[in-house]
A and B are shown apart, each in its own frame.
Chain A
Amino acid sequence: MVIQKEKKSCGQVVEEWKEFVWNPRTHQFMGRTGTSWAFILLFYLVFYGFLTAMFTLTMWVMLQTVSDHTPKYQDRLATPGLMIRPKTENLDVIVNVSDTESWDQHVQKLNKFLEPYNDSIQAQKNDVCRPGRYYEQPDNGVLNYPKRACQFNRTQLGDCSGIGDPTHYGYSTGQPCVFIKMNRVINFYAGANQSMNVTCVGKRDEDAENLGSFVMFPANGNIDLMYFPYYGKKFHVNYTQPLVAVKFLNVTPNVEVNVECRINAANIATDDERDKFAGRVAFKLRINKT
């Protein structure tokens, strides 16, 4: 009955560790002498140097094959998503009418968001296009010919344009504007040559009741075909995304209202089970009034 291992005392363990870290007899640091460390480090330096080179090479080769114009695959973007502005943390637009600070940040965001839509900027940079048809700009033999964008003027947003608006997009009066936009997808012909519009409803029956009435700008929530297709940010520099503004006029105060807006377009499915933002957007609206 030989006891195989004697229990080491704490001091011994510390001593052993010390010796492992620096052994003065053999001049070993962490079990290796200086030369040994030098060799192994050199080995790994060369090894990893080579690996980095190889990786860089393969990456470079791969990036050469990737076009600047369009991504190779777009099959994941068959259905563009919808999104709202102002963008909040959890997509809930909460407005305390009496508390200026609660909506001021939304207003600031919107101001910033809508700045490029100012008529002056649009007129300066973008073309006036013919509504109701796609604004196609083929390369016509010139590779990656820069594309022009169509004007979307802020004034088209009517009461929600915020131009000279003392109500701050309606936030100060409890009639907030929410802007809806559709995700950009390169070479996507939204609507399949038919007109399309955005509609909003309360998600459930009680939501519909609480939602009250609203107005949309442009009228009917229309999105014009002339804003499509999109040619990518590199060549379609001043592209202006079309917007639909929804002004909620008499939302029942102090209640959370689930709103769902969706786009009605021939080639955009809005019933994806997994993706709740495919062709639609859901958000919460709450107007707190005292």
Chain B
Amino acid sequence: MYSCLDLSGHVVLFELGQLYPGITMEFGKTRGRVTPQELNPSSGPKPKRVPKMVGRRKKEKVKRKKNKANIEELKKEVVMDDHKLTLEELSRRYSVDLTKGLRPEKAQEILDRDGPNTLTPPPTTPEWVKFCKQLFGGFSILLWTGAILCFVAYGIQTYFNEEPTKDNLYLGIVLAVVVFITGCFSYYQEAKSSKIMESFKSMVPQQALVIRGGEKMQINVQNVVVGDLVEVKGGDRIPADIRLISAQGCKVDNSSLTGESEPQSRFPHFTHENLLETRNICFFSTNCVEGTARGIVIATGDSTVMGRIASLTSGLAVGQTPIATEIKHFIHIITMVAVFLGVSFFGLSLMLGYSWLKAVIFLIGIIVANVPEGLLVTVTVCLTLTAKRMAKKNCLVKNLEAVETLGSTSIICSDKTGTLTQNRMTVAHLWFDKTTYEADTSEEQTVNTFAKDSDTWFILARIAGLCNRADFKPDQETLPIAKRATTGDASESALLKFIEQSYSSVKEMREKSPKVAEIPFNSTNKYQISIHLREDSSQTHVLLMKGAPERILAFCSSYLLNGQEYSMDEEMKEAFQNAYLELGGLGERVLGFCFLNLPNTFSKGFKFNTDEVNFPMENFCFVGLISMIDPPRPAVPEAVCKCRSAGIKVIMVTGDHPITAKAIAKGVGIISEGTETAEDTTAQLKVHVRQIDSRDVKAIVVHGSDLKDMSSAQLDEILRNYTEIVFARTSPQQKLIIVEGCQRQGNVVAATGDGVNDSPALKKADIGIAMGITGSDVSKQAADMILLDDNFASIVTGVEEGRLIFDNLKKSIAYTLTSNIPEITPFLLFIILGIPLPLGTITILCIDLGTDMVPAISLAYESAESDIMKRAPRDPKNDKLVNYRLIGMAYGQIGMIQALAGFFTYFVILAENGFKPADLLGIRHDWENSYVNDLEDSYGQQWTFEQRKILEFTCQTGFFVSIVIVQWADLIICKTRRNSVFQQGMKNKILIFGILEETFLAAFLCYTPGMDMALRMYPLKIFWWLCAIPYSILIFIYDEVRKFAIRNHPGGWLERETYY
């Protein structure tokens, strides 16, 4: 951190100068720095931004180095002082007239200086860089290396005029083409999902109402400048960070900044030291819900609180995705195998008397032969398929690798509002006649089971319906009541809907008893009164009141029980208290209701004065309580339960009140039934918190203010020791700290979020999940995945898909790698035994990029062997995608059987054409010599070069067909890792199609006229197709036996050595 003490004694943090201009916005007289403005005396008193400019220049230099510091800083709270200033000070600082606003010229000047009021979009990677990343990232490296080695080998061959075969050249080209095409494919896939991203962006330019030179004008939001006097009204988006100077009933929705969806009132008074908490600041890109306000712009664009968070998000370093790590590990293994084989056969061929040059060509050939050409395509397609499937289940994955990350997730840090809950206040409980009734809070709200025949209920319903300012928006008659949009605040809307649903039409009710006067709710009174004409005797009035229960009770001298009025007694008061505590303890917002039939003196036409109250305000009759909550989404408890059985810890991070948070956490099962927090236990046992052994307590609710004072070690301890954790009252920045804490434990963390403020956490998390409906653009940018329906349950289906694809990728890779052995061994034996080459480059490519492709991909459609949501998340350290057991199985066992099958066919074809196996040893030299045209076979017949080459290629075709046939068996055994195929069944239609496809393709390649010219593949006698069948059966039986042993001896030697 660069800091320096300026003359006025303020610590100016240059680092934050740009990011936190507010810090430097000290109301200073002179600054210790000579700046152009200072040198020019006519420029007036506006030097407050000087440090920012100095800072910016400095910052450029130190940006890289200081990135870390920035991010540390981000996690701390914002320091600004504009909210503490008096209006005069404010006016002076921004040299603006508080009624007339800036002069237009001045505004233009500032605009030129500061730039437009827009968020700098996160530095988007140029398209070509993205493309190159696809082209050269991860797996592609292996293939590129192979291609380059091929070209090197070809170069050596041509340079030294060695055998003029162009195989290496072709192989190199094919490899390059494969990587290129796959790169294009994945680039296209990603581009497609980013297209969807772009469609989220609203293109409508926002307008702002500013007052400049005393005139009101509508301007584009991007032209708003610091010091502008702006006016906002209900429905507007706040155009910049604004310090209010006047307000009328202004409420803002800060959810995109703080995550708290409850509208907060805004007024010009300074209420809190903390900028984010104080009530006289409105923040850029939040929404004004109702009322109007005027204020001075104190920050624009990237300098706003929102802008700083957004711009810093891009500075966060992101770790590798688990699948990328896996692929790296896989490349290591493959490289090791390849180099080991290559070097040992290099030595061997030298010992056999090959020339150095030949040996080097062999070395390269063997290394390249180990490259699984088709795997890149297979993996990409498998991931794409899963991404598609996830998108269908409302998880839009932005980059392919995130598909698997979700499956490895071991902790989900979830938002509460909107993700776990419906983001809609709903009546949950009623209390009247000294009884608590439960209301239906499900999304459908069909059944209502409470005493509707009680007279108290009628009165309660009338109060709730009449003493209520909310109303349905027009033209929604066709929609179910629960889905209709309303005007008014969340609680009143909840009451409105509830009454409409379980009582009668509120509209009619209001028509019958028109409202005569009302005192709206305010935070000091904490009640709301409305006076209506009575429905039964239209000449008299009734006073209806609702509000905070304790306030309501204070007005009452009687209460209603089954429609009868009784005078208030201690027993009732106690019952009330208990009910209030009970409902409050459920995290619900409780409202009390009472009424008073006004005496005849207030007959029709009486002028009620609500400012100087001219009607009775005592001896009301208490009716009951109604409590509301934002209820959990219906599918969430099940989803949380699934997570729990899947070993995934769900942590709730919310800005809400701890009690509400805990209630919802209990409701959805994040804090499971029967588990108590330390506080619960203490309350029960009546002992102090310290006396409880923290090891016995599994659940904890951490308050944001406690979190602020915690060291990372303490946080780690909490994350380690508690299985059920709720973070309440957290500031958005703390989410990042929590995510990092989880990652320190070695967890793969998924974090959800919708606000701009969440984006650092989303970026930092291994998989950031943004909300498709409520999410801000910035959060969607930062996220890896977008939840199209905002539903937590969708994450869990995503996890399931992610886990499945990990398993299936294993199978797919096992399948693909197996055929590597029958592809390499021919070359090895060609070298050491000197036999004609049993399998050529073209046929290898036909297998890897032809016949193996569809079957390998079809394994992605394989259903899970057991309930994958019942096992613990993958341990990224020990459970690798490709481990030595998989290699052992694929290379050491199944691959070897396959190779034998191929060789058997090869020897059969040669023997039946006259070359018996014994005569083949060492024949290579003459065989490959195109000038030897009278090579003798075992029968004394003589062969020209071309004749025996055709025979050789026929053998290669036979070898190829044999591999296809043994790959049938391999595919079937790769369907399962533990279960028998007979348990798993053959339900995977794509897989059956794959088997047929590879067979037809093999037959096509073998028998199509012209293939002898194009690919040098020759027709086979039918019998040669059958040679590999015994080996195919052997593979199947061997693996069934192996799996049988694994199932019957869990943890046994065979499982430890061969279960991949």
Determine if B896 and A51 form an interchain contact, defined as CB atoms under 8 angstroms apart. Answer: yes
The residue of chain A having its C-beta at the shortest distance from the C-beta of B1021 within the complex is A73
Determine if A274 and B1057 form an interchain contact, defined as CB atoms under 8 angstroms apart. Answer: no
The residue of chain A having its C-beta at the shortest distance from the C-beta of B317 within the complex is A1
* A77 beta carbon closer than 8 Å to chain B: yes
* A277 beta carbon closer than 8 Å to chain B: yes
Which residue of A39, A70, A72, A80 is within 8 Å of B1053 (Cβ)? Answer: A39
Determine if B939 and A59 form an interchain contact, defined as CB atoms under 8 angstroms apart. Answer: no
* Closest beta carbon of chain B to A21's beta carbon, Å: 14
Which of A133-141, A182-190, A244-252, A261-269 forms contacts with chain B? A182-190
- Cβ contacts under 8 Å, B943 to chain A: 76-77, 81, 183
Q: How far is the CA of A210 from the CA of B943 in the complex (A)?
A: 31
Determine if A277 and B951 form an interchain contact, defined as CB atoms under 8 angstroms apart. Answer: no
Secondary structure class of chain B's binding surface, majority of residues: helix
Which residue of B317, B940, B944, B950 is within 8 Å of A186 (Cβ)? Answer: B940
* A152 beta carbon closer than 8 Å to chain B: no
* Closest beta carbon of chain A to B1052's beta carbon, Å: 11
Determine if B941 and A186 form an interchain contact, defined as CB atoms under 8 angstroms apart. Answer: yes
In A6-46, the 8 Å CB interface with B consists of 39-40, 43-44
* A89 beta carbon closer than 8 Å to chain B: yes
In B936-978, the 8 Å CB interface with A consists of 936-948, 950-951, 954
Determine if A81 and B908 form an interchain contact, defined as CB atoms under 8 angstroms apart. Answer: no
Knowing A1-B316, A43-B1057, A274-B946, the reply to whether A183 touches B941 (Cβ < 8 A) is yes
Chain A: interface size category: 35 or more
Q: How far is the CA of A43 from the CA of B1056 in the complex (A)?
A: 13
* A145 beta carbon closer than 8 Å to chain B: no
The residue of chain A having its C-beta at the shortest distance from the C-beta of B72 within the complex is A1
Q: How far is the CA of A85 from the CA of B365 in the complex (A)?
A: 36
- Cβ contacts under 8 Å, B900 to chain A: 51, 54-55
Determine if A71 and B319 form an interchain contact, defined as CB atoms under 8 angstroms apart. Answer: no
Determine if B896 and A275 form an interchain contact, defined as CB atoms under 8 angstroms apart. Answer: no
* B604 beta carbon closer than 8 Å to chain A: no
Most A Cβ at <10 Å: residue of B71, B744, B936, B943: B943
Knowing A63-B916, A66-B912, A76-B950, the reply to whether A183 touches B67 (Cβ < 8 A) is no
* B931 beta carbon closer than 8 Å to chain A: yes
Most A Cβ at <10 Å: residue of B317, B896, B933: B933
Which residue of B892, B914, B947, B948 is within 8 Å of A71 (Cβ)? Answer: B914
- Cβ contacts under 8 Å, A253 to chain B: none
Determine if B941 and A185 form an interchain contact, defined as CB atoms under 8 angstroms apart. Answer: yes
Most B Cβ at <10 Å: residue of A1, A2, A72, A183: A1
Which residue of A51, A80, A87, A91 is within 8 Å of B942 (Cβ)? Answer: A80
In B470-499, the 8 Å CB interface with A consists of none
Q: How far is the CA of A66 from the CA of B918 in the complex (A)?
A: 13
Determine if A55 and B904 form an interchain contact, defined as CB atoms under 8 angstroms apart. Answer: yes
Which residue of A48, A55, A76, A184 is within 8 Å of B947 (Cβ)? Answer: A76
Knowing A59-B907, A72-B912, A72-B913, the reply to whether A77 touches B947 (Cβ < 8 A) is yes
Determine if B944 and A275 form an interchain contact, defined as CB atoms under 8 angstroms apart. Answer: yes
Which of A94-102, A164-172, A191-199, A228-236 forms contacts with chain B? A228-236
Interface residues of B (CB under 8 A from A): 67-68, 71, 316-317, 319-320, 740, 743-744, 892-893, 896-897, 900, 903-904, 907-908, 911-914, 916-917, 931-934, 936-948, 950-951, 954, 1021, 1030, 1034, 1053, 1057
Interface residues of A (CB under 8 A from B): 1-4, 39-40, 43-44, 47-48, 51, 54-55, 58-59, 62-63, 66, 70-74, 76-77, 80-83, 87, 89-91, 181, 183-186, 230, 232-234, 236, 239, 272, 274-278, 281
Question: Which 7 A-B residue pairs are closest in the complex by CB-CB distance?
Answer: A233-B940, A81-B944, A183-B942, A275-B946, A71-B914, A72-B912, A277-B944
Jot down 8 A-B pairs with beta carbons below 8 A, ordered by A.
A4-B320, A59-B907, A59-B917, A62-B904, A73-B913, A81-B942, A82-B933, A233-B940
Known: A54-B900, A71-B912, A234-B939. 16 other contacts (CB 8 A): A1-B68, A1-B71, A48-B896, A62-B908, A73-B1021, A76-B913, A76-B943, A76-B950, A76-B954, A82-B933, A83-B942, A233-B936, A274-B946, A275-B946, A277-B944, A277-B946
